[in-house]
C-alpha cells in the first residue's frame, strides 16, 4: 500500500503525492510558550514524531519544521502577572518544553523557528497584504486582514463566510471594517514590548507568524501542515487566507489534525483548567507508557486520559518487554532487512494507511506471540524475530529500554516501596536456599512478603527473576 492520509481540507483520505518526488516538507504548529506543556500538547508532539520516524524509515526525505510562538497576548499577560520580562518567561518555558520532549524521546524538528526571530518576514508579509488591499491599517496602529477580499475564506473548516458574518460577535467600539477581520499586527500600548513597523510600534497578531515562518522555511507551497484539534478554525483558516493572498499560490496540499485528549469526557484544555502537564504525568509513569498510551488510539480519534488507560498501557507494554527480556543483547535490524516479513508488511501497510498505529500494534502483538512460542524451541529464529520487534518498536520510539530495568521498575518513574534491588536479590538467594532444603514454607513466605510490596518473583530453569507490578 502506498501512503494515504486524511486531509482536513477535503475531509477525505487521499493518496499522498509530494510536490517533489521522495521529499516531504512538513510544518507543524508548535507551542505558544506561556505555560508548561500538557498531555494534549504531548499528543501532537508524539503523533508527528512517530509520523516523521515512520516516513523516514520508508525512505522519505522529511523536512520537519515546528515553530515556537514566543510573542502573543497570553505570554504578555502571564509575564505581567509574574512581574517578569516576557522573554524570561518564554525562555524558561522553551527550556521546560525541550526537557519534556527529551523525556518523551521526541526527536527535535529539523527547524524550530521562533516568531520573534522572524519579525522581518512577518512584517514583509503584512506589508504585501496591505499593498494588495488584503489588509488595512487603523488609526491606533493595528493592521487587520480584510476577510471579504478572500472569497475562499472558510474552505478548510467548511464554513460559509456569510454564516461567519452572521455569527460573528461584534465588540463595542470595534474599529474593524468587518467583524470577521482579524489582526495581523497590533499597535503597542504604552509600556508594552514592541517592534518597529511602518504602522508604528507593535507586535504580530496570532496567525501571521505561522504564515511567515512556514513560507520562509518551506516555500510558498508545501506538503503537510499539522496541528492540534482546535486549530482548523480560526488559526489555520486565517493562515490560508494570509498566505494565499500574499503569494497567490496554494498554501498547503495536505492538512492533518490530531484528536483531542479528554478528561472525564471533556476536552483537556487550558481554558477549562482540566489539564495535566507532561511533568505531572511523567512523575508517575515511565515516559514510554505515556508514548504507548498516545499511540494506542488512532491519532485523529479522541483519547481519554485516565488512570485506567495509563495502567492498561503499562500492562500492554509489559507484555512486549516480557518477551524481550531474555534477549537483551539482540539489536534491532534495519527495516530494509525486513522486506518479506509478514509482520513488517502489516506494520508498514497499517502506517501507510493514515498512520494507523493501533493496527500496527496488533501486528506487533502477533509477533510477540510468535516470539514466545518459537523461543521454546528455536533460539536463533526467536532472536531474529526479536530483532524485528525491536526494529518496529524503534519506529514508534518504544521498546528501546532495557527490558529487565523496565520490568523491575514496574513502569513507574521511581520505586515507592523502599525496596532496593540488593534487598530483593538477597531475599531471592535466601529463598533459593530454602527451596534447596525443601523448606517451601519459608520460600513461599518470601514470595508472599515481596508480593505484598508489589514485587513478583518468577522461577525458571535459569533461576529466579523479579519485577514490580
Partner RNA sequence: GGCGCGGUAGCAAAGUGGUAAUGCAGUGGACUGCAACUCCUCCAUCGUCGGUUCGAUUCCGACCCGCGCCUCCA
Give how far the C-alpha of residue 318 lies from the chain's centroid of Cα atoms, to the nearest Å: 22
Please say whether the dihedral angle defined by the alpha carbons of residues 129, 206, 70 and 106, taken in this order, is positive or negative. negative
In sign, the C-alpha dihedral spanning 337, 340, 342, 347 is: positive
User: Whose Cβ is closer to RNA: residue 282's or residue 443's?
Assistant: 443
Cβ closer to RNA: 59 or 273? 273
First to last CA, the chain: 40
Q: How far is the CB of 61 from RNA (least distance, A)?
A: 25
Residue 339 contacts RNA per CB under 7 A: no
- C-alpha 41/C-alpha 266 separation (Å) is 16
**Comparison of 316 and 409: residue with beta carbon closer to RNA:** 316
Smallest separation, CB 252 to RNA (Å): 15
Judged by CB under 7 A, the residue of 9, 26, 44, 218 near RNA is: 44
Residues 117-176 that bind RNA (CB under 7 A): 157-160, 163-164, 167-169
Q: Which residues contact 105 (CB under 8 A, 6 or more apart)?
A: 287, 288, 291, 397, 400
Q: Which CB sits closer to RNA, 118 or 298? A: 298
Q: How far is the CB of 387 from RNA (least distance, A)?
A: 18
Listed residue (289, 284, 348) closest to 314, CA to CA: 289
Would you say 339 or 376 has its CB closer to RNA?
Answer: 376
Q: What is the DSSP string of 291-338?
A: HHHHHSS-TTS-EE--HHHHHHHHHHHHHHHHHHGGGTTPPPPPGGGG
Nearer to RNA (CB atom), residue 32 or residue 63: 32
Out of 308, 329, 336, 462, the only residue in the binding site for RNA (CB under 7 A) is 308
What's the min distance (Å) between Cβ of 22 and RNA? 26
DSSP, residue by residue, 155-202: TTTT--HHHHHHHPPPPTT---SSTT--EEEEEPPTT---B--TT-SE
Q: Which of 98, 114, 262, 279 binds RNA (CB under 7 A)?
A: 262
- Of the candidate residues 61, 174, 266, 425, the single one contacting RNA (CB under 7 A): 266
The CA-based diameter of the chain, rounded to the nearest angstrom, is: 93
- Least distance to RNA, CB of residue 20, Å: 27
Q: How far is the CB of 302 from RNA (least distance, A)?
A: 5
- 3-state class (DSSP) for residue 459: strand
d(CA 207, CA 186): 12
**Subset of residues 412 to 451 that bind RNA, contact rule: CB under 7 A:** 435, 440, 443-444, 447
Kindly tell me which residue out of 141, 200, 316, 409 binds RNA, with binding defined by CB under 7 A: 316
Decide: is 258 part of the binding site for RNA (CB under 7 A): yes
**CA R_g for the chain:** 26
| Binding to RNA, residues 180-219 (CB under 7 A) | 206
User: Which range binds RNA by CB under 7 A, 117-125, 139-147, 224-232, 280-288?
Assistant: 224-232
At closest approach, how far in Å is the CB of 232 from RNA?
A: 6
Q: Which of residues 54-93 bind RNA (CB under 7 A)?
A: 74
Q: Does 353 bind RNA (CB under 7 A)?
A: yes
The C-alpha atoms of residue 144 and residue 136 are separated, in whole angstroms, by 5
Select the span of 215-223, 245-253, 356-364, 413-421 touching RNA (CB under 7 A). 356-364
User: Is residue 283 near RNA by the rule CB under 7 A?
Assistant: no
List 261, 278, 385, 428, residue binding RNA (CB under 7 A): 261
How many residues touch RNA under the rule CB under 7 A: the total is 82
Residue 137 or 382 with smaller CB distance to RNA: 382
Please provide the DSSP assignment of 390-433 as one string: HHHHHHHT-S-S-HHHHHHHTTBSS--S---HHHHHHHHHHHHH
Of the candidate spans 124-132, 212-220, 258-266, 395-403, the one that interacts with RNA by CB under 7 A turns out to be: 258-266
Residue 219 CA from chain centroid, whole number: 24
Q: How far is the CB of 245 from RNA (least distance, A)?
A: 19
- Judge if the upstream peptide bond of residue 373 is cis by omega within 30 degrees of 0: no
58 vs 322 by CB, closer to RNA: 322
**241 interacts with RNA by CB under 7 A:** no
Please, is 312 exposed, middle or buried when counting C-beta atoms within 10 Å of its C-beta (0-12, 13-18, 19+)? Answer: middle
Q: Is 105 strand, coil or helix?
A: coil
Best CA proximity match to 4, nearest among 12, 341, 302: 12
Amino acid at each position: 500500500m502506498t501512503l494515504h492520509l486524511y486531509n482536513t481540507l477535503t475531509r477525505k483520505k487521499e493518496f499522498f503525492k509530494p510536490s517533489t518526488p521522495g521529499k516531504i516538507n512538513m510544518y507543524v504548529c508548535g507551542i505558544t510558550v506561556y505555560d508548561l506543556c500538557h498531555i494534549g500538547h504531548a499528543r501532537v508532539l508524539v503523533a508527528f514524531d512517530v509520523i516523521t520516524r515512520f516516513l523516514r524509515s520508508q525512505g522519505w526525505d522529511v523536512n520537519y519544521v515546528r515553530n515556537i510562538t514566543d510573542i502573543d497576548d497570553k505570554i504578555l499577560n502571564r509575564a505581567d502577572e509574574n512581574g517578569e520580562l516576557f522573554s524570561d518567561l518564554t525562555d524558561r518555558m522553551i527550556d521546560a518544553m525541550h526537557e519534556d520532549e527529551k523525556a518523551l524521546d521526541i526527536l527535535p524538528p529539523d527547524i524550530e523557528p521562533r516568531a520573534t526571530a522572524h519579525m522581518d518576514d512577518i512584517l514583509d508579509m503584512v506589508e504585501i497584504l496591505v499593498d494588495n488591499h488584503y489588509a488595512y491599517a487603523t488609526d491606533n496602529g493595528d493592521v487587520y486582514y480584510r476577510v471579504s477580499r478572500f472569497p475562499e475564506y472558510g474552505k478548510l473548516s467548511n464554513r460559509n463566510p456569510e454564516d461567519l458574518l452572521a455569527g460573528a460577535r461584534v465588540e463595542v467600539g470595534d474599529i474593524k471594517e468587518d467583524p470577521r477581520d482579524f489582526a495581523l499586527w497590533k499597535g503597542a500600548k504604552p509600556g508594552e514590548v514592541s517592534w518597529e513597523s511602518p504602522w508604528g510600534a507593535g507586535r504580530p497578531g496570532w496567525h501571521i507568524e505561522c504564515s511567515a515562518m512556514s513560507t520562509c522555511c518551506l516555500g510558498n507551497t508545501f506538503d503537510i501542515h499539522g496541528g492540534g484539534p482546535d486549530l482548523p478554525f480560526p488559526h489555520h483558516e486565517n493562515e490560508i487566507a494570509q498566505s494565499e493572498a500574499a503569494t497567490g499560490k496554494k498554501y498547503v496540499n495536505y492538512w492533518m489534525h490530531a484528536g483531542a485528549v479528554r478528561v472525564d469526557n471533556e476536552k483537556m484544555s487550558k481554558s477549562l483548567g482540566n489539564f495535566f502537564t507532561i511533568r505531572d504525568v511523567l512523575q508517575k509513569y515511565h515516559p514510554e507508557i505515556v508514548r504507548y498510551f498516545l499511540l494506542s488510539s488512532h491519532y485523529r480519534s479522541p483519547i481519554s486520559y485516565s488512570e485506567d488507560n495509563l495502567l492498561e498501557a503499562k500492562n500492554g507494554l509489559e507484555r512486549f518487554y516480557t518477551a524481550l527480556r531474555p534477549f537483551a543483547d539482540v539489536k534491532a535490524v534495519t527495516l530494509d532487512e525486513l522486506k518479506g516479513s509478514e509482520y513488517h508488511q502489516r506494520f508498514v501497510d497499517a502506517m501507510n494507511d493514515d498512520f494507523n498505529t493501533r493496527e500496527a500494534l496488533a501486528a506487533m502483538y502477533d509477533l510477540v506471540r510468535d516470539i514466545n512460542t518459537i523461543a521454546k524451541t528455536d533460539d536463533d529464529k526467536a532472536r531474529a524475530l526479536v530483532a524485528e520487534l525491536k526494529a518496529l518498536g524503534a519506529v514508534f520510539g518504544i521498546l528501546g529500554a532495557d527490558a529487565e530495568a523496565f520490568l523491575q521498575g514496574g513502569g513507574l518513574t521511581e520505586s515507592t516501596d523502599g525496596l532496593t534491588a540488593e534487598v530483593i536479590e538477597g531475599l531471592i538467594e535466601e529463598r533459593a536456599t530454602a527451596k534447596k532444603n525443601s523448606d517451601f514454607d519459608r520460600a513461599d513466605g518470601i514470595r508472599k512478603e515481596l508480593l505484598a510490596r508489589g514485587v513478583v518473583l518468577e522461577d525458571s530453569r535459569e533461576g529466579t527473576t523479579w519485577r514490580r507490578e
